Chains A and B, each alone.
Chain A
Amino acid sequence: MTPMGKIYGRTTADFAAEAIALALEDAGLEKSDIDGLLLNGNGNLDMDPRLQWALGFEDLSLMSSMRAYGSSVGTMVQYASLALEAGLANYVVLVYGDTPLKPAVGAGAAYAARGVWDGMNVLKAAYGEFGGNVPYALAARRHMDLFGTTSEQLGAIAVAQREWALMNPLAQMNKPMTLADHQASRLVAEPFHLFDCCLVSNGAVAVIMTTAERAKDLRQPPVHLKAATQAAPGDNQRAGREPGIVTGAKQAGEQAFALAGITRDDVDILQLYDCYTYTVLVTLEDYGFCAKGEGGAFVEDGKLGPGGSLPTNTGGGQLSGYYMWGFTPLSETVMQVRGQAGERQVAKNDIVLSSGNGGVLNFHSTTIWSKHAD
């Protein structure tokens, strides 16, 4: 992965090229070994199939820009693994890149400016629903009303992740944060304070996937994929449908645990998609680490942080590390399973669960990774 954050004057294609070069070097592969390229389509014009040409890849047998918003990562891993298993490709590069930050443009404006007001979307602009803050805030507020979840409990997630970030040299946020700091941070869209919201980053991450057999000859310890699942529950615009309260993590998680032949008790480390603190809380519930509605009480003792019983988002996540959609959890998953996470390395790292989430909790992906081939 490239440096992350407020790095200006470089294109997304430039970042993507650097990330891929770093991944090739890391794996001990040449560009000519690569026969598959999957791009995480994210609205950035560079993350388009033509990126293949900008990177100079030729004669690929697997190539696509895939887009399921923040859950794309799991769909890309799933597709790559199926293609590798079927012998359709040998070495597949998965890449995410973006450059939303420009000098003197705030994070909110960077994304709000991308709005397209077609069809009923014009209502979003008319009412003032810009970007993801408001719809996620509405889901969190509903959860609070149903279950008594508090802002302080959401804050415990942000604090735990900041503690992890302080040990991650790649993280953008490098100052300590207390629960009082979280509560004092400005309100964005109630119940969210600023520190409930993810960062925005310029940069890119690339991951190379191959078969277990081929991985034996590469430079790094292999990270074995045990399951890759998706769930897309639909929108919340019909009575009785509440993807903001029971997300796709429930279905995708159950399927992933069954495919991997493990239970949630076997999971050592969680890397959960964290566009907002609430996303972590609701995902923990839907994966069954606690009962529905009990996520607030579950996280408030700090068990997600360093030294806690359920290490979660150990690089700081997207709240305090870097915002590369599902490639934030995936990149930290790879580092933890390999045992290369430095000061923040979790001692027991046999099984890591990594999630993706997109839309407003409308799209979910789950991947389970292991240090062991079986």
Chain B
Amino acid sequence: MPTESSGLDLAYDASSAPFFEGAAQGRLVLQRCGACETWMWPVKYRCVHCFAADVEWRPASGRATLYSLSVVHQQYPGFPHPYVIATVETDEGVRFNTTLVGDDVENMAIGSALMAEFDADEQPFTLPRFRRIP
């Protein structure tokens, strides 16, 4: 997460607000189809599977598996050097890019079991991060 020194003025918009509001309350909130129960990475307006309009925001389990990761060596203002970007796949079957926390995350094995965690004091808004669980 960049600090003010990153020069990026970040804010989320109304379409994605439930994700960020959920994160502020310590929950990974994703979208799910009320008709066929397919989980989706936001923002979708109809179900990616059955195309029903019944797409709702729901708290997910927060459990995920590490799908891939990259240690980023390019330097950007406000970011540590280096830092990690990871792709995770949640137990609900939704995949997205995020970051990892904990010891030696640069060498974390693909396939590691993860749990989302949240820092309610993070500025300008809380982001999900993932930590390896036994």
Q: A117-B10, A190-B73 are known contacts. Are A125 and B95 too (CB-CB below 8 A)? A: no
B112 CB → nearest A CB, Å? 11
B70 contact set on A, CB distance < 8 A: 134, 137-138, 141, 189-191
A95 CB → nearest B CB, Å? 31
* Contact residue among B2, B71, B127 (Cβ-Cβ distance under 8 Å from A189): B71
* Contact residue among B8, B40, B97, B127 (Cβ-Cβ distance under 8 Å from A138): B97
Within 8 A of B (CB), among A97-143: 108, 117-120, 122-130, 133-135, 137-139, 141-142
Interface bracket on B: 35 or more
Is there an interface contact between B13 and A130, defined as CB atoms closer than 8 Å?
Answer: no
Q: A86 on the interface (CB 8 Å rule)?
A: no
A372 CB → nearest B CB, Å? 44
The contact string, 1 if C-beta is below 8 Å from chain A, for chain B 100-132, is 000000000010000000000000010100000
Q: B26 on the interface (CB 8 Å rule)?
A: no
A47 CB → nearest B CB, Å? 26
A130 contact set on B, CB distance < 8 A: 74, 76
The contact string, 1 if C-beta is below 8 Å from chain B, for chain A 202-232, is 0000000000000000000000000000000
Is there an interface contact between B94 and A238, defined as CB atoms closer than 8 Å?
Answer: yes
C-alpha spacing A240/B67, complex, angstroms: 12
A347 contact set on B, CB distance < 8 A: none
Q: A262 on the interface (CB 8 Å rule)?
A: no
C-alpha spacing A20/B48, complex, angstroms: 42
Is there an interface contact between B127 and A126, defined as CB atoms closer than 8 Å?
Answer: yes
Q: A180 on the interface (CB 8 Å rule)?
A: no
Q: Residues of A with Cβ closer than 8 Å to B?
A: 108, 117-120, 122-130, 133-135, 137-139, 141-142, 145, 186-191, 236-241
Q: What would 9 more interface pairs be, CB under 8 Å, given A108-B74, A117-B10?
A: A119-B13, A122-B16, A123-B98, A127-B85, A129-B85, A135-B97, A141-B70, A142-B87, A238-B93
